Chains A and B, each alone.
Chain A
């Protein structure tokens, strides 16, 4: 009966469902995108946990990696290595958003990481290579690289495939078997090869050093010593790296909540307006039901059920369209083809997020219906019936 009541005013009901779904689309798209963004950022802090990351003074560091900033000469690496309490100092050359041509076009979100051969575990920990793969040869002339699984999948690369970066032909020696957002989009190569790739044969350049303390828990002291003994660098502990991004992440989450709240409010206003119109138009129906003895609760429930249906249908449509929007945004943002994301839909928009948003949309519609439902159940039947004639 409730569904039929809604269908009686098809255009209005459709518009209302469309309005709710539109709000839900934005909630899903913004929610999924910000959640992914913050998850990736937080995930990056897994790297080098307990170690000190040394970067050039003034470099912009997002969690463990310098995104923008100056280079570090080889002498800095040697100095860091000599600091008391430092077990190893591993230099790296990290490049976000590099330009490549020809064989593959890599996205701005992709990252290439140059690291001295044999020190792979400092970066990837225990992450294995897919069967048949090997870590790159220490000989830079062999021009071997390891690539992330997402890149391999996107470009159909296997062990032995050729890729071209900065006019240099490289060979895929292995593929990382990982779900990590950063590693799966990485090209890992020997440091010397990375230096050749970006700066030519003669230059030794890195842009970060990972200093592993000799003893656990001495991270802060080691960082202080590095900064005291080495000019022109910043030594960041795990906590300090977190502190850099936490305000940013907090702001993103606050904006997400704020925007979602505003959209829920808009949905609520829309549902209230439509429900009030429906109740006002059906005054005679409600009065008739009342006259023949329908309990107030029946009238109340009828309005609540109708708006809940609007919320449910709008929410479902919004989640479907919002998921598509979230995939589109992710695809545009990462330059990864849409087709790859469709199989990973639940990684972009988690089922939990979908359920949360659907439940919230239905709840908002239910709450919005309370005022119209009270109006329907508190109707003065004699007045309505009298005013008919």
Chain B
């Protein structure tokens, strides 16, 4: 099991009211599976991914990463897990605008203190894998949205993570490009035995996944079939 949650709950205060973003979620994500979490906007998908990705602390409940209770980890240890084991793909790509495509992919490698030469070789290799060999020196603003998401995927692969968390990866893309991105994520999952968790409201993504969860008002259910 790569990720397991136990009664995972996250609440937010919004003025006088308390918002239950994630409500006692129990889920198990196995290695090398393609998992989709489907739900409408505001259902708690992003919050759940942030909790699984160790970007946020739960109000109650626990997240186990590779069977390790992450509530016992220090921020520095959580950061190390994020750097070495988890890749993030965001809806709005979140590429650093001042860096080229190549430099954006090199960033996690540089943070992991990989020497410059292998760093560059690896980054080029990942950009090749997402079909962007001719866009290495382009800045994000010089790329199409589909290309930007491909760079973001290449960046998420940089440190060979065992888990990729993609938050609405097709949300900003047109239908055709979105489909290609899903195919790409699926192929990476199959080829590299990487676990991919996609939060989406795109039914096509859900159909392509091995496991599908539905989330509504912070509560999750596993769909059969």
A residues sitting closer than 8 Å to B (CB atoms) are: 1, 4-5, 7-8, 284-285, 287-295, 298, 381-382, 385-386, 388-389
Contact = CB atoms under 8 A, between A and B. Distances in A.
Contacts of B47: 382, 386
B88 A291 contact: yes
B11 interface: no
B168 interface: yes
Interface SS, A side: helix
Interface stretch (B90-98, B116-124, B208-216): B90-98
B79 A288 contact: no
A150 B138 CA distance: 60
Interface in B39-78: 41, 46-47, 50, 53, 55-56, 76
A1 B50 contact: no
B150 interface: no
B83 A388 contact: no
Contact of A382 (B56, B76, B80, B107): B56
B108 interface: yes
Given A293-B108, A386-B50, A288 B98 contact: no
Contacts of A7: 98
Contact of B55 (A285, A298, A381, A389): A381
Q: Which 10 pairs from chain A and chain B are nearest by CB?
A: A293-B83, A382-B56, A4-B98, A288-B94, A293-B82, A382-B50, A382-B55, A381-B55, A292-B108, A293-B79
Most buried by B among A8, A386, A388: A386
A184 B61 CA distance: 85
Most buried by A among B41, B80, B82: B82
Nearest to A5: B98
Nearest to A2: B98
14 contacts: A1-B98, A8-B97, A8-B98, A285-B97, A287-B94, A288-B94, A289-B107, A292-B88, A295-B76, A298-B111, A381-B55, A382-B56, A385-B46, A389-B46
B111 A293 contact: yes
A288 B92 CA distance: 11
Contacts of A292: 82-83, 88, 107-108, 111, 155
A386 B47 CA distance: 7
Interface string B86-116: 0010111010111100010001100110000
A328 B50 CA distance: 61
B21 to A, nearest CB: 8
B84 interface: yes
Contacts of A381: 50, 55-56
Nearest to A7: B98
Given A292-B83, A292-B88, A386-B46, A284 B94 contact: yes
Given A298-B111, A389-B91, A389-B168, A293 B55 contact: no
Most buried by A among B90, B108, B112: B90
